[in-house]
């Protein structure tokens, strides 16, 4: 049997505030799992240092515990307040950037998943439309390619696409849209390409009726995200690509409430007033978006859908 590398906990009576941190670290060092030991010890060191740094009062401690409890209570099948909190303090984007683009060393086309991805989007032919019920708004034609780190096109990538409507609502938030409107699942062709027809998305506020909304108001922050389209690329042998491409002239592009806009993910949503129409039923102006994604080799793991 493999010998445990965890230390034996002996324990000690606490004499002063100086004794607390070492006592907790010693108790937690009994964990057999080395990664758990590392994470728990670092978490405790930082939490204790935080309380010391701000000289946390007992009343403030109570507010913090209540805030955490209410995040849990506000979370259910169609809403995830925990992810929203991580997003609103920049933690989701930080973890994303630390884990992509050679651990943050290079630019990445990865971004946070957000709370609106659903499994089982309708399969759609390349070039097909994801407008599944009448959705007035500027016509948008999207053409993307997916390549590997050596710029070689990647065929047979399954790509989920989801976006808000031109009034800023996802279909699951809006009774006027049919189920799965503005969502689709595509497969890249031999050239690594996929394309579809849609309408230009609009920005939207994140749900602000819970504890995260209270935090935003207390900090005089607006709750808005700039307009964007979400993409999720899946292919065995490659790290699942989770990303979103923002509209370059969108309001709040530089003040996204969840800090999801990185330079690499500002798309060229180009207005077209002239030229050959992309479809017979289109009238000028229309918009186009061309974008190239990079997928890294790695394990193809799908995230858990945040909503059903």
- For residues 158-171, one letter each, b for 16 or more C-beta atoms within 10 angstroms of the residue's C-beta and e for the rest, the string is bbbbbbbbbebbbb
Comparing CA positions, the residue from 8, 270, 299 lying closest to residue 143 is: 270
User: Cα 44 vs. chain centroid, distance in angstroms?
Assistant: 27
Q: Are 130 and 184 in contact (CB under 8 A)?
A: yes
Lookup: tokens for 76 = 């259910």
Check if the beta carbon of residue 226 is closer than 8 Å to that of residue 191: no
The first and second tokens of residue 84, run together, are: 């929203």
How is residue 297 written in tokens?
A: 């080799």
Q: In this chain, which stretch among 13-21, 43-51, 106-114, 144-152 interacts with Fe ion, using CB under 5 A?
A: 106-114
8 Å CB contact between 166 and 131: no
**Smallest distance, Å, CB 303 to Fe ion?**
14
| Pairing mode of beta strands 228-234, 241-247 | antiparallel
**Residue span binding Fe ion (CB under 5 A) among the ranges 109-117, 126-134, 214-222, 283-291:** 109-117
306 touches Fe ion (CB under 5 A):
no
CB of 223 to Fe ion, least distance (A): 13
What is the rounded CA–CA span in Å between residue 114 and residue 92? 9
Output the six-digit token pair for 216: 């935003």
Closer Cβ to Fe ion, 173 or 296, answer by number: 173
Stretch that binds Fe ion, among 46-54, 68-76, 110-118, 213-221 (CB under 5 A): 110-118
Pick the closer one to Fe ion by CB: 114 or 166: 114
Q: How far is the CB of 232 from Fe ion (least distance, A)?
A: 12
Q: What is the largest CA-CA distance in the chain?
A: 81
Nearer to Fe ion among residue 203 and residue 211 (C-beta) = 203
Residue with the shortest CB distance to Fe ion: 114
- Segment interacting with Fe ion, rule: CB under 5 A, options 53-61, 91-99, 114-122, 175-183: 114-122
Q: How far is the CB of 116 from Fe ion (least distance, A)?
A: 5
Nearer to Fe ion, 154 or 229 (CB): 229
Smallest distance from Fe ion to CB 118, Å: 12
Given 37, 80, 83, 114, the residue binding Fe ion (CB under 5 A): 114
Q: Could you tell me the smallest distance in angstroms from the CB atom of residue 261 to Fe ion?
A: 12
190 vs 299: CA distance, rounded Å: 22
Question: Contact region for Fe ion (CB under 5 A) — 82-90, 112-120, 193-201, 283-291?
Answer: 112-120
Place of tokens 């964990």: 31
Considering beta carbons, is residue 114 or 306 the nearer one to Fe ion?
114
Stretch that binds Fe ion, among 52-60, 107-115, 171-179, 258-266 (CB under 5 A): 107-115
Query: At closest approach, how far in Å is the CB of 204 from Fe ion?
Result: 7
Distance of closest approach, residue 152 Cβ to Fe ion, in angstroms: 30
Q: Which is nearer to Fe ion, 211 or 260 (CB)?
A: 260
**246, β-bridge pairs:** 228, 266
Nearest to 181 by CA among 193, 194, 199: 199
Specify the residue, 183 or 185, whose C-beta has the smaller distance to Fe ion: 183
Q: How many Cα neighbours within 13 Å face the side chain of 223?
A: 18
Work out how close the CB of 304 gets to Fe ion at its nearest, in angstroms, rounded to a whole number: 17
Judged by the rule CB under 5 A, the positions of this chain that interact with Fe ion are 114
């Amino acid at each position: 049997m493999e010998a445990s590398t965890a230390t034996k906990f002996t324990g000690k009576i606490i004499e002063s505030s100086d004794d607390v941190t070492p006592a907790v670290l010693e108790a937690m060092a009994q964990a057999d799992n080395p990664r758990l030991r590392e994470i728990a010890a670092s978490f405790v060191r930082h939490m204790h240092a935080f309380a010391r740094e701000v000289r946390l009062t007992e009343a403030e401690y109570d507010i913090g515990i209540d805030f955490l409890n209410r995040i849990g209570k506000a979370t259910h099948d169609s809403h995830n307040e925990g992810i929203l909190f991580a997003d609103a303090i920049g933690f989701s984007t930080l973890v994303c950037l630390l884990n992509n683009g050679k651990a943050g060393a290079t630019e990445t086309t990865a971004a946070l998943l957000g709370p609106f991805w659903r499994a089982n989007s309708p399969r759609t032919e390349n070039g097909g439309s994801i407008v599944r019920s009448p959705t007035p708004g500027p016509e948008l034609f999207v053409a993307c390619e997916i390549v590997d780190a050596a710029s070689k096109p990647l065929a047979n990538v399954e790509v989920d696409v989801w976006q808000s409507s031109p009034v800023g609502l996802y279909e699951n938030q809006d009774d006027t849209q049919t189920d799965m409107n503005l969502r689709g699942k595509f497969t890249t062709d031999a050239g690594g390409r996929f394309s579809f027809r849609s309408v230009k998305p609009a920005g939207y506020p994140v749900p602000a009726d819970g504890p995260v909304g209270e935090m935003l108001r207390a900090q005089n922050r607006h709750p808005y995200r700039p307009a964007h389209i979400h993409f999720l690329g899946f292919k065995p042998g490659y790290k699942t690509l989770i990303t979103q491409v923002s509209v370059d002239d969108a309001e709040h592009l530089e003040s996204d409430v969840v800090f999801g806009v990185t330079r690499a993910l500002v798309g060229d949503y180009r207005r077209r007033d002239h030229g050959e129409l992309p479809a017979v039923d289109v009238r000028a102006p229309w918009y186009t978006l061309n974008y190239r994604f990079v997928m890294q080799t790695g394990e193809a793991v799908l995230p858990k859908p945040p909503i059903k």
